Amino acid sequence: MPRRGETAVVPIDVASAGGGRGDERPKRERHRSHGPGRHGPHRSRPPPPPPPAFRPFRRWFPFLVPLFIVANIVLFVLTMYVNDCPAHARATGAAIGGSVGESATAQGCWLAPELGRFAFQSFKENPLIGPSSATLLEMGALETSKVTKDHEGWRLITCIWLHAGVVHILANMLSLLMIGIRLEKEFGFIRIGTLYVISGVGGSLLSSLFMVSNISVGASGALFGLLGSMLSELITNWTIYENKFAALLTLVMIILINLAVGILPHVDNFAHLGGFMSGFCLGFVLLMRPQFGYINQKNSPLGFPMGVTKRKFKTYQVILLVISTMILVSGFTIGLVLLFQGFNASEHCSWCHYMSCVPTSKWSCNAPNNYCMSSQLGNQLNLTCESTGKTASYVLSDPNNSEAIKNLCVGLCS
C-alpha cells in the first residue's frame, strides 16, 4: 500500500533558489566555458551530489517480531520435550498390562523410532501433529474452568505462546513474519509489541467467555490484532495514502477470507474476533501519524517562509483515539469481571456458536472434550467419555496410577 511518505522529500536549497553571488562561478571557469580552445574540447563540470534525502517517518530495524517467532518455536520444542509421548505410552501400557497394554505402548505415538522423546501423539488424537492436550494444559493452555475456579488468570497470556502442532505453528509463524515485519519497520518494536500482546489477551478473553469447555492455544488472536490495526491505521492515516480505496478493498478482503476460515471445525474463531477487535481499537491509539503539512513545516529550512501554521493531528484522528480508548478500557474491564464471575456467554446467545463453526454434512462442530466418567472396583476400571458417549473397560495392574487413567480417557475421547 504505497504512501506519500515513501517518496523522498528533498530540503529546499534557499541559496541556489535565489540566485545571486552563490550562483557565480570563478572567472577562470567562465572563461573555459566559452568553447574549445588550445587545451582541447569543452569539458562539462560534473553535477553536484544530490542533497541527502529526507523521509518524514523513521524506519525501524525489525528485531522483536523475529524474536517472537524464535520464542514460539523454542516453546513448541520444549512442549514436545515435556510431552514425551513414548514414556507416557509405556506407563499407560504397564498400568493396563496384558495385550491391551502392549497395544497402547506400540500405537500410542507417531514417529517414535525417529524422534524418540519428541515423538508426536497419534494422528487420531492430535491431527495437527503435536503434543497431547494434557501437556498443553500443563504448559499453560487456556481452559476457562482453570481461570475461573483455580484463579489462573495468567493463562490468558501464556496460551498465546503455545501451539497445538507443527501445522498450527507453521501457519501462524509465516503469517507473523509477513505481517509483523512490515509493521515493526514502520512503527517500531514498542508499539507493535504492545499491540501484539494486548490483542492476544483480547482474543483469549473473548474465547474464554464463549468457548467454555474447550482448550485454546495459539497466536491467532494476536495475529488478527495486527490485521485489525492495519485497517484502523489505514482509516486514521487516510490522508497520507495514495491509492486509498484500492488499499482498503485489498485489506478488507484479506480480513474477510481469514475470518471465513475460522468457521471450520477445530478453529477458535472467537479468539480471532477478540484479537481483531482489540487490534482495531489499538490501531487508532498507537499507530496514529502526524500530517504531512505539519512534518514539512517542522523540517523546513531556517528563513524559509512557512505560511499558515499546521496542526499535528486532524480532528477526526483525535476523536477516533478517544472513542477507541474508551471502548478498549470498558471492554477489557467488563470482560474480565464477567470471566471471573463464571459467566458463560454461549448460554445467553443461541446463535453465537455459528460464528466459530458452521456444521455441515462433511464435519461436526462438536469438539471432543477429554472428560470421562469413571467407576473403579479393585483393578477393574470403567470409563465413559462425556463428549462421545464411548465406554470401555480396563484391568489395571496399578489402580492408583492417575496418569495412566488420564491417558486412557484421552485415547477414548479421541
The per-residue pLDDT for 192 is 96
Q: Nearest 5°: phi and psi at 223?
A: -65, -40
Non-local CB neighbours of 352 within 8 Å, separated by 6+ positions? 210, 345, 346
Q: Which CATH number fits domain 63-291+311-356: 2.40.30.170, 1.20.1260.10, 1.20.1540.10, 3.40.50.880?
A: 1.20.1540.10
CB 87 within 8 Å of CB 40: no
The per-residue pLDDT for 2 is 53
Active site residue 133: no
The per-residue pLDDT for 9 is 41
The per-residue pLDDT for 180 is 94
The residue written with cell numbers 577562470 in the block is 28
CB 176 within 8 Å of CB 69: yes
pLDDT along the chain (414 residues), means of 10: 46 44 47 49 67 64 95 96 88 65 60 89 86 91 91 94 94 93 93 96 94 88 94 88 81 86 78 95 92 61 56 87 96 95 87 79 64 74 74 74 71 68
Active site residue 220: yes
Non-local CB neighbours of 147 within 8 Å, separated by 6+ positions? 153, 155, 156, 208, 339, 340
Q: Given 133, 199, 207, 220, which residue is catalytic?
A: 220
Degrees to nearest 5, angle at CA 263 with 262 and 264:
90
Q: Given 133, 272, 278, 414, which residue is catalytic?
A: 272
291 three-class SS: coil
Give dist(CA 307, CA 18) in Å, integer.
18
Degrees to nearest 5, angle at CA 50 with 44 and 56:
165
Cell numbers placing 376: 473403579
Q: In terms of C-beta density within 10 A (0-12 exposed, 13-18 middle, 19 or more buried), how is residue 303 classed?
A: exposed
Q: Nearest 5°: phi and psi at 377?
A: -130, 100
Residue spans of the domains in the chain: they are: 63-291+311-356, 372-413
**pTM for the whole thing?**
0.76
